[in-house]
Structure 1
Amino acid sequence: MSFRRSAVALCAAVATGLNIAPAHAALAAEPITHSAPDAALSVNPIGSHESGIFDASAAEIVTYHPASQRVLTVNALSGSVDILDISDPTAPQLIGSVHAGEDTTINSVAVRADGLAVATVEPGVKTDPGSVIFFDAAGDGTVLDSLPVGSLPDMVTVTEDGAYAVVANEGEPAEDYSVDPEGSVSVITLPADVAAATEVRSAGFEAYNAPGALPEGIRIFGQFGDSTTVAQNLEPEYVTTSGGKAYVSLQENNAIAVVDIATATVEDIFPLGTVDLREVPMDISDKDDTVNIANWPINSFRMPDAIESYVVGGTTYIVTTNEGDARDWDAYSEEARVKDLGKEGLAPICEDAVDDMAEFQADENAGRLKITTADGLNADGTCYEEIYSYGGRGFSIFDQFGDLVFNSDDVFEQILAEAVPEYFNSNHSESTFEGRSDDKGPEPEGVALGEIGDRTYAFIGLERIGGVMVYDVTDPSAAEFVTYVNNRDFSVSMEDEADQAAALPAAGDLGPEGLTFIPAADSPNEKNLLVVGNEVSGTTTIFQIDEVLAQPGLSSLSSR
């Protein structure tokens, strides 16, 4: 789910490309690395830019323009896109910023090879229609023009051929549900040169308002006040494009929409299913004082945030990072804990759903796990016959038809239990043991794909404990763990620091959000690079990816 931005833009003026004194975050003295015994890659941090701002989303989505050797980083706090010169990737420099205007927030940015950049702009009232702005990534930050799009434009991407920009308009409701805009996908026809576009079309979901039109398994819930239709309930989050189609994650709805780009039409929506904890173990308690990756009579919705796609043998495959998310507004919240069921007006768990109710609902077992009250009730609504939680704590690969071909299962948590046993499932702003086990665990959120040699790799950012999981996804049905790297010093717990500004550089990277892969052919140092924007530490960090011989490390971890 998108970051809840409460900060307004600090400045409406456009910052030109004048040099600004660079700030470089200290890289962790000993970055955490953990690799498979036959790992073909090593991934190491080599440079970082520090905004100096803690826990205010000063570095989110990142993208790269090869010709100018510039990284564009979304700075939601200032409502801008920061422009970083990475001609020396060990010392990125802030050289300017692009602002969209007063009382606005930029949520996402994408760039075409010729430098035409597109950024999504959220107005001060998030339920109002949003816009996109255009600028030259190689220029001085001047905004060329803007176009209107749907409400809460969350993410933008540019198609492989550079002909279109596609925007996911999330359309979240107001806190009191007085307004609930329809979710939509904007398709923008881009000009041939570096100039503002003039044509935008909207792919909407009105066709699914008809009874029976929506495929089974799509979550439609939490509607009252102004919210009455399916189109209002569907909330586009993230977009990836392949072969003339846009695949759009509908995170809260646990689904992906398929949009034909040429006609700007939603062709299909397919559900993403659940992870069954009876088969896939998870650690679901922060009060059991141990790593306990175990099985439970619970299902968990995948609910991906970022998604990416690639083609193998003529078929498009979609990689989903299964973060999970809850609707939690002033007027409506689906969120509760297992131990809350049966109390304060909530229906209880059905007697035959678990063997020992008291033991199951104890804090050291399932009691503190955050769950949804919107799903799982029996036919008459008197008790919960099934319990549903949020997120798969890993990633999945689906084919273009919506068929699941791979799920990483419990491997992320197994790796973290070995790599950082003292800080297993830590939070991002505080160094804790199991601080997130009762919620969504490591919380995979961002993903980038990259080709190195004849292999395709997925780089997956973990929002809470931090770091990047690297998988070889060349064979979509048999993805394999390669390595894990985390540029974080857990000895620095930011919530416990009296002087957070002074402590922040030593903490390293906190809360990875957006990732982009830079192939060696486009790289300033002719090495494969990975750029990660970290919203909690406000750092934009560059990792170098090197091919290596097999090395000793983690014992083999399989997934189902």
Structure 2
Amino acid sequence: MRTTTPLCLAAATMSVLAMLPATTAAARAERSGIELSLLGRYSAGAVGAGAAEITAYDAKTRRVFVVNAEQGTVDVLDLRNPRAPRKVATLATPGANSVAVHDGLVAVAQQAANKTAAGTVAFFDARTGKKQREVTVGALPDMLTFTADGRRVVVANEGEAASYCTGAVDDPEGSISVIDVRRGTVRSAGFRAWNGQEDRLRAKGVRISGPGVSAAQDLEPEYITIDKGTAWVTLQENNALAVVDLERATVRDIVPLGLKDHAQPANALDASDRDGKIDIRTHPVKGMYMPDAISHFGDRGRTYLVTANEGDSRDWECHTDEVRVKSAELSPTAFPNAAALKQDAELGRLTVLSDSPKDADGRYTELRVFGARSVSVRAADGSLVWDSGSELEQLVARELPGQFNFDNEENDSFDSRSDNKGPEPEGVAVGEVRGRTYAFVGLERVGGIVTYDLSNPRKPALAGYVNTRDFAGDVEAGTAGDVGPEGVLFIDAHDSPTRRPLLVVGNEVSGTTAVYEIRS
């Protein structure tokens, strides 16, 4: 095992140019430089319970609203002094999954006690905390956001199953709710138009895998980004995007996201958690991008999408879509070296999709893994423009070799996530700093924020990495700093209490809300 000295958290600052790959001085000078420095942190005092997840910011009150799933509340933090965020109020929001704010109005997505029942969105005054109204939406509202003009709130209702047991399938339909804020009316964009077309969707590349369910039940909206009258919604487990017309509240298209070939050198990965070393190399497997968070930006009149390609499985009672390669029967034609591949140091430990393609005898002809361990830029039609390849794993291997592919539940966990999604990029936010557009991506497992300069959408540049997890601390005891970044929020300099752009990160495992200042 390689070792390294833990990060000095007192000076948790990212020097961007120092973190870039080796290059010429002239090329370095052409790139912009930014650094993230930890200003302050608020701890909810609960570890491993989702006490700090999604965050939202109200510029008028200088308040940050943080989903505290452990308490069933939204914690309200005063950010006027970002070096010492303090809790000033709580909003009673049982079942809260997501929060958004626009012009003093707070919207909170709340799942029902029975998650397969209809959920709600509650609205609060950002200054007083007074609840104004509540409306009914679809099952398991997992994320919501305002349109830029504040006229609408758009909600991703995941509709996740509770059970796939024979004779007791409990899988509600996924949908996207479009709420008229002024009128309080709700319209639903659903997927029933695709019922009966499941085979056509599969042939197109959309993953439909739930046993005995329709397309509308299987398609699960996860995260939303909006540009003008169009919403792009990640369908994570389906490896697809839904394109939604907000004026009509209809799903216009379902776009498959394709596969990533890890046999290509640029897409290498570490596939084993039992070899005791960092071993990033090519393997005969394909990655399903399966993004969680999505954001967007504009360049030269075009809209581009940015996705954090986390990956996610369905591992429920009576149904799982996970299998390790060592337990899978491989086609001798597709994998003539199957015995060698099944060794723990090769692919034996790798978790793959149980519904990966098989031959007539039920033997796997292709191995597909959850997630792509990467960040992608896509065009508005969903086509891939750029992917970070193996860069995230290479970055962590270079900067934190002793903590490579750590888990987020304990500090002594070297290489433990290599068999399953690696660093797991989950949250992403896009923001402009001094005229340049950046993506800020949270790595759920090892922790930290990776920054990419998006000035050239077809060739984003790695702009740095900061990690304020204390690898000498104890995660369970709450002494490990910031662990498990979930929600990533960019605050523009114009709205910031410091007049410098900020990044606010909700860390679900440590229960901390971290505030970083972005300097250029």
Question: TM-score, structure 1 length as denominator?
Answer: 0.86
Q: Which of 122, 130, 135 is matched with 1:133 structurally?
A: 122
Q: Which of 402, 413, 421 is matched with 2:382 structurally?
A: 402
Q: Are the aligned partners of 1:31 and 1:487 in contact in 2 as well (CA < 8 Å)? A: yes
Structure 2 gap segments, 5+ residues each: 1-7, 22-27
Q: Which of 367, 372, 397 is matched with 1:417 structurally?
A: 397
| Displacement of 1:29 | 2.9
| Displacement of 1:364 | 1.1
> For this pair of structures, how many residues does the alignment match?
493
Q: Which of 490, 510, 517 is matched with 2:490 structurally?
A: 517
Specify the code of the residue in structure 1 equivalent to 2:194: Y
Deviation per CA, 1:192-224, whole angstroms, max 9, x where unpaired?
A: xxxxx5211000101111336637100001223
Quote the residue 1:332 is aligned against: 319
How many angstroms apart in 2 are the aligned matches of 1:179 and 1:131?
19
How many angstroms apart in 1 are the aligned matches of 2:13 and 2:331?
44
2:170 is equivalent to residue 159 of structure 1? no
Q: Which of 278, 290, 311 is matched with 2:263 structurally?
A: 278
Q: Are the aligned partners of 2:13 and 2:35 in contact in 1 as well (CA < 8 Å)? A: no
How many angstroms apart in 1 are the aligned matches of 2:286 and 2:269?
11
Q: Are the aligned partners of 1:127 and 1:180 in contact in 2 as well (CA < 8 Å)? A: yes
2:515 is equivalent to residue 534 of structure 1? no
2:236 is equivalent to residue 255 of structure 1? no
Deviation per CA, 1:446-479, whole angstroms, max 9, x where unpaired?
A: 0000001221000000000000000001221111
Quote the residue 2:176 is aligned against: 185
| Displacement of 1:403 | 1.0
2:353 is equivalent to residue 368 of structure 1? no
Specify the code of the residue in structure 1 equivalent to 2:101: V
2:79 is equivalent to residue 86 of structure 1? yes
| Helix, strand or coil at the partner of 2:420 | coil
| Displacement of 1:33 | 4.2
Q: Are the aligned partners of 2:475 and 2:510 in contact in 1 as well (CA < 8 Å)? A: no
Quote the residue 1:304 is aligned against: 291
Aligned CA-pair RMSD: 1.4
Distance verdict in 2 for CA 1:381–1:231, change over 3 Å: farther
Q: Are the aligned partners of 1:87 and 1:524 in contact in 2 as well (CA < 8 Å)? A: yes
How many angstroms apart in 2 are the aligned matches of 1:469 and 1:107?
24
How many angstroms apart in 1 are the aligned matches of 2:473 and 2:340?
36
Quote the residue 1:555 is aligned against: none
How many angstroms apart in 1 are the aligned matches of 2:13 and 2:300?
36
Quote the residue 1:318 is aligned against: 305
How many angstroms apart in 2 are the aligned matches of 1:511 and 1:270?
30
| Displacement of 1:137 | 1.3
Q: Are the aligned partners of 1:32 and 1:419 in contact in 2 as well (CA < 8 Å)? A: no
| Displacement of 1:170 | 0.3
Distance verdict in 2 for CA 1:530–1:53, change over 3 Å: same
How many angstroms apart in 2 are the aligned matches of 1:146 and 1:478?
44
How many angstroms apart in 2 are the aligned matches of 1:394 and 1:493?
28
How many angstroms apart in 2 are the aligned matches of 1:381 and 1:117?
55
Runs of 4+ aligned structure 1 residues displaced above 4 Å come to none
Q: Are the aligned partners of 1:393 and 1:444 in contact in 2 as well (CA < 8 Å)? A: yes
| Helix, strand or coil at the partner of 1:359 | helix
Quote the residue 1:124 is aligned against: 113
Question: TM-score, structure 2 length as denominator?
Answer: 0.93
Quote the residue 2:209 is aligned against: 221
| Helix, strand or coil at the partner of 2:519 | strand
Q: Are the aligned partners of 2:76 and 2:87 in contact in 1 as well (CA < 8 Å)? A: yes
2:106 is equivalent to residue 106 of structure 1? no
Quote the residue 2:42 is aligned against: 49
How many angstroms apart in 1 are the aligned matches of 2:180 and 2:76?
25
Specify the code of the residue in structure 2 equivalent to 1:276: D
| Helix, strand or coil at the partner of 2:237 | coil
Q: Are the aligned partners of 1:305 and 1:445 in contact in 2 as well (CA < 8 Å)? A: yes
Q: Which of 352, 358, 363 is matched with 2:333 structurally?
A: 352
Quote the residue 2:5 is aligned against: none
Quote the residue 1:292 is aligned against: 279
| Displacement of 1:382 | 2.2
Q: Are the aligned partners of 1:235 and 1:251 in contact in 2 as well (CA < 8 Å)? A: yes
| Displacement of 1:30 | 4.6
| Helix, strand or coil at the partner of 2:204 | coil
Distance verdict in 2 for CA 1:406–1:266, change over 3 Å: same
How many angstroms apart in 2 are the aligned matches of 1:298 and 1:92?
45
